[in-house]
Amino acid sequence: MRIRAQVAMVMNLDKCIGCHTCSVTCKQTWTNREGTEYVWFNNVETKPGIGYPKHYEDQERWKGGWRLDAKGRLVLRSGGRVKRLSRIFANPDLPTLDDYYEPATFDKDVLVSAPAGLTDTPVKQPRSALTGEPISLDWGANWEDGLGGAHERAATDPNITAMAPDAAARVKFEFEKTFMFHLPRICEHCLNPACVSACPSGAMYKREEDGIVLVDQDRCRGWRMCVTACPYKKVYVNHATGKAEKCTFCFPRIEAGQPTICSETCVGRLRYLGLVFYDEDAVLAAASVQDEQELLAAQRKVFLDPHDPETVRLATEAGLPQEWVLAAQSSPVWRLISDYQIALPLHPEYRTLPMVWYVPPLSPVLDAVGAAGLDDTDADDVFHTIRDLRIPVEYLAELFTAGDVDAVAGVLMKLAAMRSYMRARTLDGTVAEELCSAVGMSGAEIEDMYRLLAIAKYDERYVIPTAYAKDAVALEAQVASTSDCSLDCAGGPGMTEPAVAERFHLVADGGQTRPGRKSLFARRGDGRLGLSIDPAGERS
Partner 1 sequence: MNTLVWIVIPYVCLAVFVVGHVWRWRHDQFGWTTHTSQLLESRLLRLGSPLFHLGAFGVIAGHAMGLLVPASLTEKIGIPGHLYHAAAVWGGTITGIVLVVGLVLLIARRFVNGRIRRVTTTMDKVLYVALAAMVILGMTATIGTNLLSEGYDYRETIAVWFRGVFWFSPETHLMTEAPLVYQLHAIGGFLFLALWPFTRLVHVWSAPLAYLWRPYVVYRARRHAPVTPVPAPAAVRDRAVHRAHR
**Would you say 106 and 126 are in contact if contact means Cβ atoms under 8 Å apart?**
yes
The 3-class SS string of 320-376 reads CCHHHHHHHHCCHHHHHHHHCCCCEECCHHHCCCCCEEEECCCHHHHHHHHHCCCCC
Peptide bond into 252 cis (omega under 30): no
| Chain residues 421-440 in contact with partner 1, contact rule CB under 8 A | none
Interaction of residue 492 with partner 1, rule CB under 8 A: yes
Q: Stretches 44-52, 313-321, 414-422, 469-477: which one binds partner 1 (CB under 8 A)?
A: 469-477
Interaction of residue 89 with partner 1, rule CB under 8 A: yes
Cβ 274 to partner 1 shortest distance, Å: 19
Q: Stretches 23-31, 57-65, 107-115, 505-513: which one binds partner 1 (CB under 8 A)?
A: 505-513
**Would you say 4 and 327 are in contact if contact means Cβ atoms under 8 Å apart?**
no
Q: In this chain, which of 1, 17, 372, 507 binds partner 1, going by CB under 8 A?
A: 507
Which of helix, strand or coil describes residue 272?
strand
**Would you say 193 and 356 are in contact if contact means Cβ atoms under 8 Å apart?**
no
Binding mask 264-283 for partner 1 (x = CB under 8 A): --------------------
Interaction of residue 532 with partner 1, rule CB under 8 A: no
Which amino acid, 461? R
Interaction of residue 477 with partner 1, rule CB under 8 A: yes
Q: DSSP for 453-503, please give it.
A: III--HHHHB--PPSPHHHHHHHHHHHHH-SS-GGGSTTS--SSSPPPGGG
Which amino acid, 315? A
Question: Residue 183 is inside which H or E element, if any?
Answer: strand 181-185
Interaction of residue 206 with partner 1, rule CB under 8 A: yes
Cβ 13 to partner 1 shortest distance, Å: 29
Interaction of residue 55 with partner 1, rule CB under 8 A: no
Residues 6+ apart with CB under 8 A from 268: 12, 15, 16, 17, 19
| Chain residues 99-128 in contact with partner 1, contact rule CB under 8 A | 128
Q: How far is CA 210 from the centre of its chain?
A: 15
Interaction of residue 140 with partner 1, rule CB under 8 A: no
Q: In this chain, which of 19, 94, 114, 424 binds partner 1, going by CB under 8 A?
A: 94
Q: Stretches 41-49, 95-103, 159-167, 452-460: which one binds partner 1 (CB under 8 A)?
A: 95-103
Backbone angles phi, psi at 115, to 5 degrees: -70, 155
Residues 6+ apart with CB under 8 A from 313: none
Interaction of residue 476 with partner 1, rule CB under 8 A: yes
Cβ 346 to partner 1 shortest distance, Å: 20
Which of helix, strand or coil describes residue 307?
coil
Backbone angles phi, psi at 336, to 5 degrees: -70, -35
Interaction of residue 521 with partner 1, rule CB under 8 A: yes
CB burial of 286-299 (b: ≥16 within 10 Å; e: otherwise) equals bbbbeebbebbebb
Which of helix, strand or coil describes residue 439?
helix
Interaction of residue 224 with partner 1, rule CB under 8 A: yes
Pick between residue 152 and residue 208 the one whose CB is nearest to partner 1. Answer: 208
Q: In this chain, which of 18, 148, 200, 321 binds partner 1, going by CB under 8 A?
A: 200
**Would you say 441 and 388 are in contact if contact means Cβ atoms under 8 Å apart?**
no
Which amino acid, 452? L
Pick between residue 34 and residue 378 the one whose CB is nearest to partner 1. Answer: 34
The helix-helix angle for 309-317 and 322-329 (nearest 10°) equals: 150
Interaction of residue 511 with partner 1, rule CB under 8 A: yes
Binding mask 147-186 for partner 1 (x = CB under 8 A): ----------------------------------------
Pick between residue 305 and residue 502 the one whose CB is nearest to partner 1. Answer: 502
Instruction: Tell which residue, 121, 82, 72, 75, has the closest CA to residue 352.
Output: 75
Pick between residue 175 and residue 278 the one whose CB is nearest to partner 1. Answer: 278
Q: In this chain, which of 473, 495, 499, 506 binds partner 1, going by CB under 8 A?
A: 473
Q: In this chain, which of 43, 159, 241, 260 binds partner 1, going by CB under 8 A?
A: 241
Interaction of residue 461 with partner 1, rule CB under 8 A: no
Cβ 351 to partner 1 shortest distance, Å: 12
Torsion sign over Cα 97, 352, 85, 509 = positive
Interaction of residue 491 with partner 1, rule CB under 8 A: yes
Binding mask 242-261 for partner 1 (x = CB under 8 A): xx------------------
Interaction of residue 335 with partner 1, rule CB under 8 A: no
Q: In this chain, which of 471, 499, 506, 525 binds partner 1, going by CB under 8 A?
A: 471
Cβ 102 to partner 1 shortest distance, Å: 8
d(CA 280, CA 461): 26
Interaction of residue 221 with partner 1, rule CB under 8 A: yes
Name beta bridge partners: 8: 274
Peptide bond into 348 cis (omega under 30): no
Interaction of residue 490 with partner 1, rule CB under 8 A: yes
Interaction of residue 226 with partner 1, rule CB under 8 A: no
